[in-house]
Chains A and B, each alone.
Chain A
């Protein structure tokens, strides 16, 4: 059975005068999915998200969110959509409880205020005014405001920016929990570890176009990218000829990789190889090392990280 489509976008374009911010993108988000939307600043992410949220008009293309065109959506549609905006929107002079109660009053069938405050972990700060909350607490209050109407679809625009590592981990657990409740989550983030941990699928936008789409494991051909094997052979030792390997191509510094420089002969020689069949190469290397008595203590086998894939995808864009 095909998954139910919650967001469907076809040929979406948005131009501000002569500047094309979004240039014909297609995407689909299924019910219950965490969909991560990545891209450098200025790639058209915010424009796209704001079109999906109903804040912005578009120049061309078809957009359907929960079966409705956001440009023409009314109060019924907004009841089903929760939004956490990038900029802070906390009422500075109301307490956490008052702020959530104010928003709960906008919905016909909202969740209980105390339950929502507990869900985002703000129970102990319920009587603190918005203006006195820390950055992380403010972000959690914004999530509470988005959840109070019990939405089916949640837009989270950089929800953990400025969080410390433990607050970020708590936010991830919360988002995972929301997915467990069956909610669909459209997540914008700059953190690769966040996308990798949370997302079912990742979409990468660069210069207004989609340059990559897939699961965290398959994005940008990550699953079929060659593995890299690096190790140091002692000075004066000739490294073995390993089946199926080739020297790793030298990257320039801007591509995010480590420079493929060789260390001086006195301390040994750093060998950097690339292969599509790492087990064959490693087997031969292990046999050689054992026979020759070299421990190769610094051996590393490396698959491309999501960040490397992301940088490759976004740099290739015009």
Chain B
């Protein structure tokens, strides 16, 4: 239905495909920022969790990769993982399901806008939101709780946030295809992420979780995003901090999510 659209052929004269994507992302971001529920769950909740975990446990140490690090340095990347997942997966599943069920997606589909612009615009919004929340957490974590990340590993941190956000958008679009009503989206998405947060070492460090649950967690992307975000925080690391294996597994989940979404995605309301 979409047809192939090359750069410069969509939107207003002279408007490139990239500009159209930016146009869509701008209004998706505006909608996101105006939505109180989205603001609370995506922006406020991770900050609150970081403050609680760091205040309660920050000064004890924990062994990661053979070295002792402060718990606040452990929890910062863990909560950045949670924030990234909130900004992409949680927020996207709820908003896209709501838009589909209320007919907004169907309406947008009647306009001559390529499907990938609508999907990509929402993804760009999620990546930007994840970037903002990660930066916010980083500033609070380093200023307030002495968690440190070296400038050398910052690129790896940024790559992990972006890869994570894109992956969880793709997985989110896949999950949306299994939800039939807007009311079901919020509880369902929490049922998916909360157990994964626990077994993936987001709330409780992985060395206290046990090998069986950790082995299960390793199948899913939450664990690998947390790993990819933790690596840049490891002190004395001589490398640039890229967790190549974890990033590869995230990419595989992104491909799987995208494949399911492409096969199953519907623009029209599915419930009732």
Q: Do A and B come from one complex?
A: yes
Q: Which residues of A are in contact with B by a Cβ distance under 8 Å?
A: 53-55, 73-76, 78-79, 81, 83, 85, 87-94, 98, 101-103, 105-110, 129, 142, 145-146, 149
Known interface pairs A98-B30, A106-B11, A129-B34; A88-B110 also in contact (CB < 8 Å): no
The 9 closest A-B pairs by CB, nearest first: A89-B107, A74-B3, A75-B112, A87-B103, A93-B34, A78-B112, A83-B110, A93-B31, A106-B113
The answer to whether A54 and B31 have CB atoms under 8 Å apart is no
Which residues in A have their C-beta under 8 angstroms from that of B268? 55
Of residues 12 to 39 in B, which have CB atoms within 8 Å of A's CB atoms? 12-13, 15, 20, 23-24, 27, 30-32, 34-35
CB of A85 within 8 A of CB of B12, answer no
Shortest Cβ distance from A75 into B: residue = B112
Contact A75 B102 (CB under 8 A): no
Whether the pair A75, B5 counts as a contact (CB closer than 8 A) is yes
CB of B237 to closest CB in A, whole Å: 42
Tell whether B180 is near chain A: CB-to-CB under 8 Å: no
Shortest beta-carbon distance from B100 to chain A in Å = 11
Q: Which residues of B contact A85 (CB under 8 A)?
A: 103, 106-107, 110
CA A15 – CA B265 in complex, angstroms? 22
Q: Complex: how many Å from CA A61 to CA B108?
A: 27
Question: Across the interface, do B31 and A53 meet the contact criterion of CB distance under 8 Å?
Answer: no
Contact A107 B106 (CB under 8 A): no
Interface size for B (C-beta < 8 A) is: 32
Partner of B106, one of A55, A75, A91: A55
Query: Is B67 an interface residue when CB atoms closer than 8 A count as contact?
Result: no
- B104 and A89 within 8 A (CB): yes
* Cβ-defined contact, A107 with B111, below 8 A: yes
Residue pair A98, B27 in contact (C-beta under 8 Å)? yes
| Among A74, A81, A110, residue most surrounded by chain B Cβ atoms (within 10 Å) | A74
CB-based contact B112/A107 at 8 Å = yes
Q: How far is the CB of A186 from chain B (nearest CB, A)?
A: 13
Q: Besides A105-B11, A106-B112, 16 other CB < 8 A contacts?
A: A53-B110, A54-B1, A73-B1, A74-B1, A74-B3, A76-B112, A78-B112, A83-B107, A85-B106, A89-B103, A91-B31, A94-B27, A103-B111, A107-B112, A145-B107, A149-B112
Query: What are the residues of chain A within 8 A of B23 when measuring CB–CB?
Result: 102, 105
Question: How far is B93's CA from A35's CA once the two chains are assembled, in angstroms?
Answer: 40
